[in-house]
């Protein structure tokens, strides 16, 4: 049910992005130089008094710089979301494993690109002034900026949703493991470092659920054998 709620959330976000991406971009207008009395500075710009005698924070930056920063931030946030979703998938796949009483269903990681409302790109092909065959592509800068800003909001919501669902899944998985003879948390590798910094593993850690059941079986067999040796 958790994965279905996540997919439903994504579909809603895609629909909203598509609707909001249909607005007509404004024409570029000439910026007027405003009277501005600088009184200080802030993280978002300069603090001062405008022509209406209002205290404001004013910033003036190159449009291409704003878009580049936004795209870089979204790229990083997208990586974060995909890691969160990968962790959620791994948790839900284990929770759905029949050996833990699950249905055997696997969770699909949603396509993050489907969340981005990409503005239309128009192409044209022809001969340039040098006689070379060229292809030109044009896209609304304003729509691109708006799309990246909406994508940023969506990514933040997705991160919050994925983290919340992962916490819920982790609690349910720990309970399911304990009910089927496993510790609530994964088996951790044990070992030691030698004098030259080399790690020597003395006990294999758990990477998959197969490992967990194998380690558990060996541990029980060892305990049983030891119990037999101690018996009079």
- How high is the pLDDT of residue 79? 93
pLDDT digits (tens, 9 = 90+) for 79-137: 999 999 999 999 999 999 999 999 998 888 888 877 788 888 888 899 988 889 999 88
Six token digits for residue 80: 């974060």
pLDDT digits (tens, 9 = 90+) for 55-78: 777 777 788 888 899 999 999 999
pTM above threshold 0.75:
no
Whole-angstrom Cα distance, residue 43 to residue 26? 28
Query: Are 165 and 171 spatial neighbours (Cβ–Cβ below 8 Å)?
Result: no
Which residue in 163, 209, 165, 168 sits closest to 187, CA to CA? Answer: 209
Whole-angstrom Cα distance, residue 171 to residue 163? 13
Which residue in 224, 220, 223 sits closest to 182, CA to CA? Answer: 220
Q: Which residue has the tokens 């974060």?
A: 80
């Amino acid at each position: 049910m958790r994965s279905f709620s996540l997919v439903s959330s994504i579909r809603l976000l895609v629909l909203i992005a598509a609707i909001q991406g249909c607005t007509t971009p404004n024409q570029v207008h000439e910026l007027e130089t405003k009277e501005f009395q600088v009184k200080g500075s802030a993280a978002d710009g300069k603090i001062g008094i405008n022509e209406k005698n209002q205290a404001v924070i004013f910033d003036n930056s190159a449009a291409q710089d704003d878009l580049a920063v936004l795209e870089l931030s979204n790229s990083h946030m997208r990586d974060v979301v995909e890691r969160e979703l990968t962790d959620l998938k791994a948790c839900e796949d284990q929770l759905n494993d029949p050996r833990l009483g699950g249905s055997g269903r696997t969770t699909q990681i949603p396509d993050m690109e489907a969340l981005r409302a990409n503005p239309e790109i128009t192409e044209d092909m022809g001969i340039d002034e040098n006689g070379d065959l060229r292809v030109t592509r044009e896209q609304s800068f304003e729509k691109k900026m708006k799309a990246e800003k909406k994508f940023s909001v969506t990514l933040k919501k997705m991160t919050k949703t994925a983290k919340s669902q992962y916490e819920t899944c982790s609690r349910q998985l720990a309970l399911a493991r304990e009910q089927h003879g496993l510790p609530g948390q994964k088996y951790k590798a044990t070992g030691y470092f030698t004098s030259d910094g080399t790690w020597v593993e003395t006990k294999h850690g758990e990477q998959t659920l197969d490992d967990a059941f194998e380690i558990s079986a060996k541990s029980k067999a060892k305990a049983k054998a030891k119990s037999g040796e101690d018996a009079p």
